[in-house]
Amino acid sequence: VIDISKLYGQTGMFTYDPGFTSTASCESQITYIDGDEGVLLHRGYPIEQLAEHGDFLETCYLLLYGELPTAAQKADFDYRVTRHTMVHEQMARFFQGFRRDAHPMAVMVASVGAMSAFYHDSTDISDPQQRMIASMRMIAKMPTLAAMAYKYTIGQPFVYPLNSLDYTSNFLRMCFAVPAEDYKVNPVLSRAMDRIFTLHADHEQNASTSTVRLAGSSGANPFACIAAGVACLWGPAHGGANEAALKMLEEIGSVDNIPKYIAKAKDKNDPFRLMGFGHRVYKNYDPRAKIMQKTTHEVLAELGVKDDPLLDVAMELERIALHDEYFVEKKLYPNIDFYSGITLKAMGFPTSMFTVLFALARTVGWIAQWKEMIEDPSQRIGRPRQLYTGSPKRDYTPIGRR
Ligand code: ACO
């Protein structure tokens, strides 16, 4: 708290907290993080248990409704999500307007925002039933949009959803099936992808979720709010870090080069950072990174990848960083993005799709947080204050006299 009375035109006291390191913007019952202990709970359930024993749609149900589903509730939820996987056929034509070399995240920002033009029947946020329909539509259609963004940018025809498949297998098929060939979803890869989705489902008030809440606080429709979240997620300090982490591992190239990069990361005059290390909240091992590391090994074993040089670099980098004084002192541990890139690459996704996959999974967190905010009677429009440090009032000088 600082005294602003000495600044121009301001009176009273308020908190000044750049980056919101110690300011809570809302109350929430969805996700709990203990960054010092490395704990992540959704509605009280540890992420490790959800990722190990449940599937992604079960976590979606939990985040949206607050409790784990019974078998009947789960079957009904899966059915309702599945029924909404198709997108309006006009959306396929909407995609044709993009350049083929567009980044798939650019396509996602636009196509998610465009959902409000195609599904305006569920933009009435005052109706609880419409809010739920909008939520189901978002969760169900994100994989279809993500797969379309991918297919479009590689010049292949869209593959329509096959709703006899489970959510994640359906998504993998939409990405990797081609009309000329048979495609059978590998259950090990589908399970790994599903676990990756679960790990990314929600993470309380991170930058993109706060963006969704702030956009929603004005009464904007849910599709517009999620598009705002997708745009925010794209940045390399946030969801774009998985892409950046893999690029960094490729750039390092071999274990011999690691000391050079560690030195760069420690050099105050060098802006380089070890991508995939550090977290605003976790000052301990990110619990998701541990599960991700295990998943990486499972995927590489299933695909028969032995002696992957990227994995060698990652393991050695992790080993060195965990013992290096600089990283220990600053509590910089590997975060979830450190391993997800290697796994997704092995599964066949190009780096440009990594953040899209993150957005797909985080959609449920965004929508659950958006719903919680709309349903909170104390909710007000988000309107941060500022410290004005500009010029005091002065008179306009005509252009000829400046
Ligand atoms: N490599 C080297 N040094 C680092 C790193 C890193 N990855 N991360 C932080 N530091 C250093 C900073 O230079 C700073 O040093 P200083 O105190 O001497 O100035 C100190 O650690 C604290 O860093 P901040 O940037 O103040 O920490 P903040 O909480 O604001 O940032 C962030 C967190 C953005 C995640 C940061 O650690 C980072 O840039 N990491 C790399 C990008 C990344 O992996 N992002 C993914 C985040 S997880 C997610 O979105 C799913």
**Mutation to probe ligand 1, out of 252, 268, 277, 344 (largest number of atoms < 8 A from CB):** 277
Looking at residue 285, what is its pLDDT?
A: 85
* 2-6, 189-193, 328-332: which is most confident: 189-193
CB distance 278 to ligand 1 below 6 Å: yes
Looking at residue 330, what is its pLDDT?
A: 92
The H-or-E segment that residue 40 falls in is strand 39-42
Query: Residue 103 — φ and ψ, nearest 5°?
Result: -70, 135
pLDDT digits over 88-109, tens only? Answer: 999 999 999 999 999 999 999 9
Q: Among 182-186, 219-223, 235-239, where is mean pLDDT lowest?
A: 235-239
**pTM higher than the cut 0.80:** yes
> Does pLDDT of 122 surpass 90?
no
Work out the pLDDT band at 144, boundaries 50, 70, 90. Answer: very high
**Mutation to probe ligand 1, out of 22, 31, 268, 273 (largest number of atoms < 8 A from CB):** 273
Helix, coil or strand: residue 42 = strand
Reference 337, options 236, 253, 256, 260; nearest CA is: 236
Residue pair 191/140 in contact by the 8 Å Cβ criterion: no
Q: In this structure, what DSSP letter does residue 372 have? A: H
User: What mean pLDDT value characterizes the chain?
Assistant: 92
Distance CA 51, CA 141 (A): 22
pLDDT digits over 77-92, tens only? Answer: 999 999 999 999 999 9
Residue pair 4/10 in contact by the 8 Å Cβ criterion: yes
Reference 159, options 172, 279, 168, 270; nearest CA is: 172
Burial 131-158 (b: 16+ CB within 10 A, else e): bbbbbbbbbbbbbbbbbbbbbbbeeeee
> Does pLDDT of 71 surpass 80?
yes
Distance CA 244, CA 212 (A): 23
The H-or-E segment that residue 32 falls in is strand 31-34
Looking at residue 338, what is its pLDDT?
A: 86
CB distance 275 to ligand 1 below 6 Å: yes
Looking at residue 7, what is its pLDDT?
A: 67
Task: State the complex-level ipTM.
Answer: 0.92
Q: Among 27-31, 45-49, 114-118, 238-242, where is mean pLDDT lowest?
A: 238-242
Looking at residue 280, what is its pLDDT?
A: 86
Give 160's contacts (C-beta < 8 A, 6+ positions apart): 86, 174
Q: What are the distances in angstroms from CA 214 to CA 18, 61, 155?
A: 16, 24, 36
> Does pLDDT of 275 surpass 70?
yes
Token reading at 90: 């006009």
Going from the Cα of 279 to the center of ligand 1, the distance in angstroms, rounded, reads 6
Q: What is the 3-state secondary structure (H, E, C) of 160-201?
A: CCCCCCCHHHHHHHHHHCCCCCCCCCCHHHHHHHHHHHHHCC
Distance CA 148, CA 153 (A): 8
Token reading at 35: 């960054």
Looking at residue 2, what is its pLDDT?
A: 61
Atom of ligand 1 nearest to the CA of 203: 51
Mean pLDDT value of segment 298-303: 93
Work out the pLDDT band at 4, boundaries 50, 70, 90. Answer: low
Residue pair 242/340 in contact by the 8 Å Cβ criterion: yes
CB distance 248 to ligand 1 below 6 Å: no
Looking at residue 267, what is its pLDDT?
A: 94
> Does pLDDT of 375 surpass 80?
yes
Looking at residue 3, what is its pLDDT?
A: 64
